[in-house]
A = this chain, B = another copy of it.
Amino acid sequence: VLFAASLSAAAAASADNCPLFHPPCAPCKNAGFLQKNNSLDEKNRIASSFRDRQTPKNQLSCENSDREARYRRTETDFSNLFARDLLPAKNGEEPTMQFLLEVMDILTNYVRKTFDRSTKVLDFHHPHQLLEGMEGFNLELSDQPESLEQILVDCRDTLKYGVRTGHPRFFNQLSSGLDIIGLAGEWLTSTANTNMFTYEIAPVFVLMEQLTLKKMREMIGWPNGEGDGLFSPGGAISNMYSVMVARYKYFPEVKTKGMSAAPRLVLFTSEHSHYSITKAGAALGFGKENVILLSTDERGRVIPADLEAKIISVKQKGYHPLFVNATAGTTVYGAFDPINEIADICEKYNLWLHVDGAWGGGLLMSRQHRHKLNGVERANSVTWNPHKMMGVPLQCSAILVREKGILQGCNSMCAGYLFQPDKQYDVTYDTGDKAIQCGRHVDIFKFWLMWKAKGTTGFEEHIDRCLELSEYLYNKIKDREGYEMVFEGQPQHTNVCFWYIPPGLRDMPPGDERRERLHKVAPKIKAMMMESGTTMVGYQPQGNKVNFFRMVVSNHAVTRSDIDFLIDEIERLGNDL
């Protein structure tokens, strides 16, 4: 209610002194009026506008006017205020509120511009340019404090030289968009500034996490949503958890004795899968060469027969096949591995089945698309990143495990000094000992709040819409002159992979020269896009395929016009290559 109160008092105050009140003019709005070289006039204007923002407590009547005298320019000029003047400083409340409101102004302005297609996606500079220092923006740290005025300038400049990942024409990552509810949730999380390891200091967040994980397990299809899980710092760590838990399930003695207590253990994952499975293999002591890559079909989906053949081959060598990762939504092609067929093989040979749904897990929220993950309920563990397809702010990744207690068994160290058993509440709610982290960031609240605000149906609409948009793109370019699709047929996820062939290459015969030239097209177009700041889309090679564009849609601000814009832009920039 504070804010409404502040406004009412500000309004009351200005009823008395409206002539003194100068709204900021357009030029100084654009020029960053808090720059150190403000003229005195500008400073006066700023000071008066902040003065009017003030509200003493318990003085909320319209007629109150003596209050006004409390606020003088010296109190509201940020160039004379420093961090030490803010709370908990004596009389720090007013400058604190002023400062936070000013920050809020910067942020809401940024939010508005993010959705405004007339703004750039980015204002590109090379590292050396930013390091040398842009006007008024110096990244170096010093011994002495800077004024709050400079801090506010730094906040503006940080956003100015950054990338608007929520812009409707930012297509560069699997995570994009700026969800307003999620943003509010993340602001609240920052303000609460607590830690997930015990119920004691995060009672509400710990319960939200439990309820949300249960709901996710229900969507996976595990009976009654039973099982376990955690939010972790990203899909790579979630995948790492799955490997750790699989090892603990089959060879619990490794926890105590190390890898030498087990036979040579082998993990399987597709050649199109995310590199984090191999990274986990290297980190956890399996070794990269014991992570065997499975062949895929032309659409990037694991060939089950190849899995079975490789399991048999490994067993013949005397090694122990432990774990299979099936990807639900690969990074580049957006392919969904055939989970049921893989699950049959895992059951036959007694392997742990993990489904990496970091990217594709969100499709479980859609009645229309969830069939792409058929069989996921047979998995032993699932990675699912709401921060990707579901538009939750970064970071928000869940590892879900079907067997209850196994996360605890795998990771607990029973540190009595952190997790006391003799508390007055039910300490099974303390999650810290299940994690490989000690402190753990609160990633749940924004997601929980979005789920409340959108409902399951809201997520479903979001996902269906993104997939429709990518279908629109696919239909638009699949037969268009100058485009070649990387794989045939409609994509399974929002990933649309294609080459743009500039006019100068269209008549070239296939061969190395054409390949070499085509390989350079996407990087060149991308560099020009970034320099003009109009849009961003990813590219990469894959296997023996030269660089191609990978278009993805996960931002709910995107419309067909943005898809059209991207294609126009590629053609505009690539026409002369």
Q: Are B7 and A279 in contact (CB under 8 A)?
A: no
Copies of this protein chain in the complex: 2
User: Which residues from 102 to 132 on chain A have a C-beta closer than 8 Å to any C-beta of chain B?
Assistant: 102-112, 115, 124-128, 130-131
Expressed in whole angstroms, the Cα–Cα distance for A178 and B279 within the complex equals 36
A517, B109: Cα distance in complex, Å: 60
Docked complex Cα distance between A60 and B547 (Å)? 50
A495 to B58 alpha-carbon distance, docked (Å)? 40
- Bound-state CA distance A15–B14 (Å) is 7
A83 to B180 alpha-carbon distance, docked (Å): 8
A535 on interface, CB distance cutoff 8 Å: no
At the interface, yes or no: A527 with Cβ under 8 Å from chain B? yes
In this assembly, does A411 line the interface, its C-beta being within 8 Å of a C-beta of chain B? yes
CA of A555 to CA of B168 in the docked complex: distance in angstroms?
A: 41
Contact A10:B7 (CB < 8 A) given known A193-B165, A288-B256: yes
Cβ of A477 to closest chain B Cβ, rounded Å: 21
A154 and B285: CB pair below 8 A?
no
Select one of B53, B240, B413 contacting A7, CB under 8 A.
Answer: B53
Chain B nearest CB from A176 CB (Å) reads 9
CB distance from A300 to the nearest CB of B (A): 11
Cβ-neighbour of A15 out of B15, B413, B441 (below 8 A) = B15
A162 touches B4 (CB 8 A): no
B540 and A418 contact, CB distance less than 8 A? yes
Residues on the B chain within 8 Å of A258, using CB: 259, 264, 281, 285-287, 289-290
Q: How far is the CA of A392 from the CA of B84 in the complex (A)?
A: 15
Interface residues on A, range: 35 or more
Q: Which of A21-29, A346-354, A505-513 contacts B (4 or more CB under 8 A)?
A: A21-29
A169 at the interface (CB under 8 A from B): no
Contact at A395–B439, with CB atoms within 8 Å?
Answer: yes
> Is A141 at the interface (CB under 8 A from chain B)?
yes
Whether a CB of chain B sits under 8 angstroms from the CB of A97 is yes
CB contact list, A188-214 vs B, under 8 A: 188-195, 199-205, 207-208, 211-212
Nearest opposing residue in chain B for A215, CB measure: B141
Given contacts A107-B188, A287-B257, A527 and B423 within 8 Å (CB-CB)? yes
Instruction: Give the residues in chain B near A82, CB-CB below 8 Å.
Output: 453
In the bound complex, do residue B145 and residue A417 qualify as a contact, i.e. CB atoms below 8 Å apart? no
Asked if A236 lies at the interface with its beta carbon under 8 angstroms from chain B, I say yes
Give the nearest-CB partner of A184 in chain B: B103
Q: For residue A105, which residues in chain B have a CB less than 8 angstroms away from its CB?
A: 1-4
Q: Mark A144-167, 1 if CB is under 8 A from B, else 0.
A: 111010110011011101110110
A-B contact pairs, 11 of them (CB 8 A): A88-B115, A124-B203, A141-B212, A142-B456, A163-B201, A163-B202, A165-B193, A186-B190, A190-B190, A284-B285, A417-B540
